Amino acid sequence: DTAVSQTPKYLVTQMGNDKSIKCEQNLGHDTMYWYKQDSKKFLKIMFSYNNKELIINETVPNRFSPKSPDKAHLNLHINSLELGDSAVYFCASSYDRSSYNEQFFGPGTRLTVL
Amino acid sequence: AQSVAQPEDQVNVAEGNPLTVKCTYSVSGNPYLFWYVQYPNRGLQFLLKYITGDNLVKGSYGFEAEFNKSQTSFHLKKPSALVSDSALYFCAIEDYGQNFVFGPGTRLSVLP
């Protein structure tokens, strides 16, 4: 009955590879997010989708491409992985895009690029 | 652009003592302010938020926070700390549809 789930939990891969991280929420929320948390624990928003439409696209390399097949899923595909992509990636969701709604976070995916 | 500062990287407090984790912000309008907690190897969990109304907001696990507009602060407090409160705490701000911005985090250690 996990509210926001991510797979995989750990991802170890070589530079130059392409990988995907999946996220699903069963809360019936309209809005979903991807965040990157670096080794210093700084947390930065990457993307936000509302009802399958992109609403926030921060300054992220275009090697990162989010895809939302339906409002319960927001996947993150990364092409040509680089060492600097190593981080923990968190998916989150909120009831809708209203600013006053809190977000519910997934457990994170630790990506290590060798 | 809005920003959030958490001036202390680390806060140490003895179990049973009151704790305060500080947060100050900078925003052009009226902010929505949030506190989240992150336990090791876990995602963030929502603790509490200030939207409008009473400046003192109460949240999960006995935490509370006071919104102070003149000092642009939103400090997190708890009257009596528990060892299990040891975690990373993030203050966050949302400014009417702008991006959700997190502070750098404060690591709280509660010593038995």
8 Å CB contact of A104 and B46 = yes
**What integer best gives the mean pLDDT of chain A?**
93
Omega before residue A8 within 30° of 0, cis: yes
* Confidence check: pLDDT of A52 > 90: no
* Confidence check: pLDDT of B75 > 90: yes
8 Å CB contact of B104 and A103 = no
DSSP-derived letter for residue A30 is S
What is the DSSP track for B22-58? Answer: --EEE-SSPPEEEEEEE-TTS-EEEEEEE-SS-SEEE
3-state helix, strand, coil in chain B (%, to 5): 5, 50, 45
* Confidence check: pLDDT of A82 > 90: yes
Minimal Cα–Cα distance from B58 to chain A, Å?
15
Average pLDDT over residues A43-56: 88
pLDDT band for position A72 (50/70/90)? very high
Minimal Cα–Cα distance from B100 to chain A, Å?
7
Average pLDDT over residues A93-106: 89
* Confidence check: pLDDT of B31 > 70: yes
Picking from B32, B98, B104, the nearest residue to A100 by CB comes out as B32
* Separation between Cα atoms, residue B27 and residue B103, nearest integer Å: 13
pLDDT of residue B98: 60
Average pLDDT over residues B97-109: 87
Give the whole-number percent of chain B exceeding pLDDT 90. Answer: 80
pLDDT digits (tens, 9 = 90+) for A24-38: 999 999 999 999 999
8 Å CB contact of A41 and B42 = no
Token pair belonging to A113: 């690029």
* Confidence check: pLDDT of B1 > 80: no
Give the whole-number percent of chain A exceeding pLDDT 70. Answer: 98
8 Å CB contact of B43 and A107 = yes
